[in-house]
Structure 1
Amino acid sequence: MGLGFSEILLIVAIVLLLFGAKKIPELARALGRASHEFKKAKEDLVNETKELTEASEKKAAAEDTAKKEPAAAAAKTDKPESK
Protein backbone atom coordinates (compact mmCIF):
# COMPACT_ATOMS: atom_id res chain seq x y z
CA MET A 1 0.00 0.00 0.00
CA GLY A 2 2.30 2.74 -1.28
CA LEU A 3 1.66 6.36 -1.99
CA GLY A 4 1.29 7.29 -5.62
CA PHE A 5 2.30 10.55 -7.25
CA SER A 6 -1.21 11.99 -7.01
CA GLU A 7 -1.46 11.26 -3.27
CA ILE A 8 1.91 12.88 -2.59
CA LEU A 9 0.93 15.91 -4.67
CA LEU A 10 -2.32 16.23 -2.71
CA ILE A 11 -0.45 16.05 0.61
CA VAL A 12 2.02 18.74 -0.53
CA ALA A 13 -0.86 20.99 -1.63
CA ILE A 14 -2.61 20.58 1.73
CA VAL A 15 0.61 21.34 3.62
CA LEU A 16 1.12 24.47 1.50
CA LEU A 17 -2.41 25.64 2.23
CA LEU A 18 -2.19 24.95 5.96
CA PHE A 19 1.27 26.31 6.73
CA GLY A 20 2.19 28.61 3.85
CA ALA A 21 5.39 28.66 1.83
CA LYS A 22 7.39 30.50 4.50
CA LYS A 23 6.79 27.94 7.26
CA ILE A 24 7.61 24.83 5.22
CA PRO A 25 11.44 25.16 5.48
CA GLU A 26 11.13 25.57 9.25
CA LEU A 27 8.91 22.51 9.46
CA ALA A 28 11.32 20.52 7.29
CA ARG A 29 14.26 21.47 9.54
CA ALA A 30 12.31 20.54 12.65
CA LEU A 31 11.32 17.23 11.08
CA GLY A 32 14.96 16.55 10.12
CA ARG A 33 16.16 17.30 13.64
CA ALA A 34 13.49 15.08 15.16
CA SER A 35 14.40 12.27 12.77
CA HIS A 36 18.10 12.64 13.64
CA GLU A 37 17.39 12.58 17.38
CA PHE A 38 15.17 9.51 16.98
CA LYS A 39 17.89 7.65 15.06
CA LYS A 40 20.51 8.61 17.66
CA ALA A 41 18.29 7.44 20.52
CA LYS A 42 17.65 4.16 18.69
CA GLU A 43 21.38 3.59 18.14
CA ASP A 44 22.11 4.38 21.79
CA LEU A 45 19.47 1.89 22.90
CA VAL A 46 20.84 -0.83 20.61
CA ASN A 47 24.40 -0.22 21.85
CA GLU A 48 23.32 -0.27 25.49
CA THR A 49 21.40 -3.50 24.95
CA LYS A 50 24.45 -5.11 23.33
CA GLU A 51 26.70 -4.00 26.19
CA LEU A 52 24.30 -5.35 28.81
CA THR A 53 23.96 -8.65 26.96
CA GLU A 54 27.74 -9.05 26.68
CA ALA A 55 28.21 -8.20 30.37
CA SER A 56 25.54 -10.71 31.34
CA GLU A 57 27.15 -13.43 29.20
CA LYS A 58 30.59 -12.73 30.71
CA LYS A 59 29.16 -12.89 34.22
CA ALA A 60 27.40 -16.19 33.48
CA ALA A 61 30.60 -17.64 32.01
CA ALA A 62 32.58 -16.54 35.06
CA GLU A 63 30.02 -18.11 37.39
CA ASP A 64 30.13 -21.38 35.43
CA THR A 65 33.92 -21.42 35.62
CA ALA A 66 33.84 -20.70 39.35
CA LYS A 67 31.40 -23.59 39.90
CA LYS A 68 33.49 -26.02 37.85
CA GLU A 69 36.84 -25.23 39.52
CA PRO A 70 35.86 -26.31 43.07
CA ALA A 71 34.26 -29.47 41.69
CA ALA A 72 37.44 -30.30 39.77
CA ALA A 73 39.59 -29.63 42.84
CA ALA A 74 37.34 -31.83 44.99
CA ALA A 75 37.52 -34.63 42.44
CA LYS A 76 41.31 -34.52 42.50
CA THR A 77 41.50 -34.69 46.31
CA ASP A 78 38.94 -37.50 46.58
CA LYS A 79 40.94 -39.86 44.38
CA PRO A 80 43.70 -41.78 46.14
CA GLU A 81 47.11 -41.12 44.70
CA SER A 82 48.73 -44.04 42.92
CA LYS A 83 52.48 -44.44 43.24
Structure 2
Amino acid sequence: MGRLFDGPWPIVIIIVVALLLFAAPKLPAMARSLGQSMRIIKSEVKEMKNDGKPESTDDASGPVEGKIVNHPQAKPAPTQHGEPTDGTDVPPSNRA
Protein backbone atom coordinates (compact mmCIF):
# COMPACT_ATOMS: atom_id res chain seq x y z
CA MET A 1 0.00 0.00 0.00
CA GLY A 2 1.36 3.45 -0.99
CA ARG A 3 1.92 6.39 1.22
CA LEU A 4 -0.65 9.19 1.16
CA PHE A 5 1.78 12.12 0.79
CA ASP A 6 4.33 10.38 -1.41
CA GLY A 7 4.55 13.20 -3.95
CA PRO A 8 3.65 16.86 -4.16
CA TRP A 9 0.38 16.34 -6.07
CA PRO A 10 -1.82 15.21 -3.17
CA ILE A 11 -0.76 18.26 -1.15
CA VAL A 12 -1.51 20.57 -4.11
CA ILE A 13 -4.96 19.01 -4.56
CA ILE A 14 -5.77 19.41 -0.85
CA ILE A 15 -4.71 23.08 -0.94
CA VAL A 16 -6.83 23.76 -4.05
CA VAL A 17 -9.89 22.09 -2.49
CA ALA A 18 -9.42 24.06 0.74
CA LEU A 19 -9.15 27.32 -1.22
CA LEU A 20 -12.31 26.54 -3.16
CA LEU A 21 -14.26 25.70 -0.01
CA PHE A 22 -13.16 28.51 2.27
CA ALA A 23 -12.12 31.32 -0.06
CA ALA A 24 -14.64 30.96 -2.90
CA PRO A 25 -16.41 34.30 -2.24
CA LYS A 26 -13.08 36.15 -2.17
CA LEU A 27 -11.61 34.58 -5.32
CA PRO A 28 -12.98 37.18 -7.82
CA ALA A 29 -11.60 40.05 -5.74
CA MET A 30 -8.26 38.28 -5.40
CA ALA A 31 -8.09 37.64 -9.15
CA ARG A 32 -8.98 41.29 -9.87
CA SER A 33 -6.29 42.48 -7.48
CA LEU A 34 -3.75 40.15 -9.06
CA GLY A 35 -4.64 41.46 -12.53
CA GLN A 36 -4.25 45.08 -11.42
CA SER A 37 -0.89 44.28 -9.86
CA MET A 38 0.29 42.61 -13.05
CA ARG A 39 -0.78 45.66 -15.11
CA ILE A 40 1.09 48.00 -12.77
CA ILE A 41 4.24 45.87 -12.92
CA LYS A 42 3.99 45.68 -16.70
CA SER A 43 3.67 49.46 -17.07
CA GLU A 44 6.57 50.08 -14.66
CA VAL A 45 8.82 47.70 -16.61
CA LYS A 46 7.83 49.46 -19.84
CA GLU A 47 8.66 52.86 -18.30
CA MET A 48 12.03 51.57 -17.07
CA LYS A 49 12.88 50.39 -20.59
CA ASN A 50 11.92 53.80 -22.04
CA ASP A 51 13.84 55.79 -19.39
CA GLY A 52 17.13 55.56 -21.26
CA LYS A 53 15.67 56.51 -24.63
CA PRO A 54 15.24 60.22 -25.44
CA GLU A 55 11.81 61.24 -26.62
CA SER A 56 11.84 62.19 -30.29
CA THR A 57 9.63 65.13 -31.15
CA ASP A 58 9.67 67.14 -34.35
CA ASP A 59 9.98 70.59 -32.78
CA ALA A 60 12.79 69.63 -30.38
CA SER A 61 14.95 67.84 -32.94
CA GLY A 62 17.44 70.65 -33.58
CA PRO A 63 19.01 73.63 -31.86
CA VAL A 64 16.93 76.73 -31.41
CA GLU A 65 18.23 80.08 -32.62
CA GLY A 66 17.90 82.85 -30.09
CA LYS A 67 18.33 86.61 -30.35
CA ILE A 68 19.09 89.09 -27.59
CA VAL A 69 16.80 92.10 -27.69
CA ASN A 70 17.65 95.23 -25.75
CA HIS A 71 14.50 96.98 -24.64
CA PRO A 72 14.69 100.78 -24.51
CA GLN A 73 15.18 102.13 -21.00
CA ALA A 74 12.56 104.53 -19.71
CA LYS A 75 13.90 107.89 -18.56
CA PRO A 76 13.74 108.31 -14.79
CA ALA A 77 11.17 110.74 -13.44
CA PRO A 78 12.55 114.14 -12.36
CA THR A 79 12.90 114.83 -8.64
CA GLN A 80 11.54 117.82 -6.78
CA HIS A 81 14.60 119.83 -7.77
CA GLY A 82 14.14 119.07 -11.45
CA GLU A 83 17.08 116.65 -11.68
CA PRO A 84 16.57 113.12 -12.97
CA THR A 85 17.30 110.38 -10.49
CA ASP A 86 19.76 107.62 -11.18
CA GLY A 87 17.94 105.13 -8.97
CA THR A 88 20.42 105.43 -6.09
CA ASP A 89 18.65 108.15 -4.13
CA VAL A 90 17.17 107.06 -0.83
CA PRO A 91 14.06 108.88 0.38
CA PRO A 92 14.45 110.72 3.69
CA SER A 93 13.28 108.92 6.79
CA ASN A 94 10.23 110.14 8.71
CA ARG A 95 11.85 110.66 12.08
CA ALA A 96 10.21 112.98 14.55
Q: TM bucket by the smaller chain?
A: 0.3 to 0.5
Structure having greater relative contact order (Cα 8 Å, sep ≥ 6): 1
More helix by share: 1
After TM superposition, the score normalised by the length of structure 1 is: 0.43
Max radius of gyration: which structure?
A: 2
